[in-house]
Chains A and B, each alone.
Chain A
Amino acid sequence: MGTHLPSTEFDGTAVDDQREADAEAVMGEPAAQMVQLLGPDGKLGTDPVFSAYADKLTQEDLRRLYADMAAIRRFDVEATALQRQGQLALWVPLTGQEAAQIGSGRASQPQDYIFPTYREHGVALTRNVDLAELLRQFRGVSNGGWNPKDTNFHLYTLVLAAQTLHAVGYAMGIQRDQKLAAATDGAKEQPDAAVIAYFGDGASSEGDVHESMVFASSYKAPVVFFCQNNHWAISVPTNVQTRVPLSNRAKGYGFPGIRVDGNDVIAVHAVTEWALEHARQGNGPVLIEAFTYRVGAHTTADDPTKYRPSTEEDAWRAKDPLTRLEKYLRAQDLADDAFFAKVKADGDELAAYVRRTAHDLEDPDIRQAFANVYAQAHPLVAEELAWFEEYSAGFAGEEESAGQAAKAGH
């Protein structure tokens, strides 16, 4: 499949070059090849398979990919600021991973269903999730925040890799839907929708990833495993999770594995579109490893200076996904200063909206928590709620008099 050069030829960092050499020693052959179309220099290369998919992107599509990446980066800056101001308990920044997320999310179709982990703010944007709703979880007013049925974008999952199994089960449901439809009205048996399961290089070590790939392969489920290898699982580097490229694992399960330059939004879009087509056509799962980098901290509670040199971050900033697309758009006369000014203004407007909305998010009532433990009436929940109501009612007069006392200056 395609023209895939060794990762080392894509200006990898010294760390990556060493890992590549180690993997080659383990495997006895060149370890991995990586699909890249748009290099850090902003020049578009070709690929026998994926160029055809890249060519489908219109000028408007390319501009939108840039605008999306810029918007989500601006959002990330704003959310980080909100955490610093005490408006959010925690934030999980995505800066550096914009191309991996926007490229793959934009390659999905509305009928596809997406299971994120907890850093997929860029994918959420492509699925029209209200970005202010994304903040609910981090403000402590919800453990979810949006209705997945509205966008086919599932809630964030914090127990790593648990969602990869949900994705495969969902894909098994799509297969059965199609068969039921075929049995009733003679529709085609191929699935017309697919699922994407996002996870990271750290989560790749979880047993659920293994089990999900076994199930997906055995039942040829229409699912795309999208692994963002951002090089760091909090403080632990990828070579502790794996000695060979993660994309190589697919071979062991019997389905295609592709390593793509995760900072190249055009290649990510092309590869993901190909993989989703592959899945929807009934050919089974695909593993995509998007080779990217978490430029910032794991969360706002993290301190990367304790475990990695800033020179490594600098090396990856040189491969920035936005910069290279900007170079390309300008060189091809697809966007001008006015376009980039508009993108910046739109980003600031989004940030203002998010800031305003975050402040306005009301604290929930614990009665909502009582209401949602079970779908059907439950005597213990009802009993405890009744107790809570009675108990709370006992404070009603007290709060009033406390308020009056405060007013009276006591």
Chain B
Amino acid sequence: MEEVFAPGEPVIEVRDLYKSFGSLHVLQGVDLTVNKGENMVVLGRSGTGKSVLIKIMVGLLKQDRGDCIVLGKEVSTQVGNDLRDLRLKIGFSFQNSALYDSMTVRENLEFPLVRNIPNLTRADINEQVESVLDAVGLLQTINQVPAELSGGQRKRIGIARTLILKPEIMLYDEPTAGLDPITCLEINQLINEVKEKYQTTSIIITHDLTCARETGDRIAMLLDGKFLKTGTFEEVFDTDEERIKSFYDYNFIQ
């Protein structure tokens, strides 16, 4: 029986999560709750384990200790078809987009679709591919290969590829990294549009405060392997905590 979550109910619960790589202790007792329908931004400097956290949520990495419960299921215990079913409900947008180089945009989008939803007709496939490309505003690139796309276009296609499976949760890994300010604003807008149109719950990993302010309903500040503060943008940055203040100053003064 599929568990149905009402708006505001927690769909992601992380409790006392630890992860190390050899002697490098990345996550040291992380706690986080994300409620259905909200955009949660995880802020932090590079190398603080933000990406590791969402990779644990999708089962690409396993925690050393603690719980990571997504849509009511502990991710680390899911295997085979259970893990596959869980992953179908989670969209993951990679930092470098991770588009398949040897395929056109159309083939990139068709790839997960035809392998997860069998017996689709050619007309159905075309309709879904075009609809999702239209949603990210890049229908004209359908026959291009990733090498012919700009950084911003690649990010959008990466998001479109995850949206084609209509996920309940979207995980964005540094969606604005390496983009010019105008393209960053477009991506922020797209993240908000995705939330509205597809009714997704999202976690946005970033160190870009503009992105955090534009897209986040709540923000969690990750420092030294733990969440230092969680709340709205104003709540998090209205503080005397030196490390948070310096992060804010650096971003906006720079």
Check if A and B associate.
no
Interface residues of B (CB under 8 A from A): none
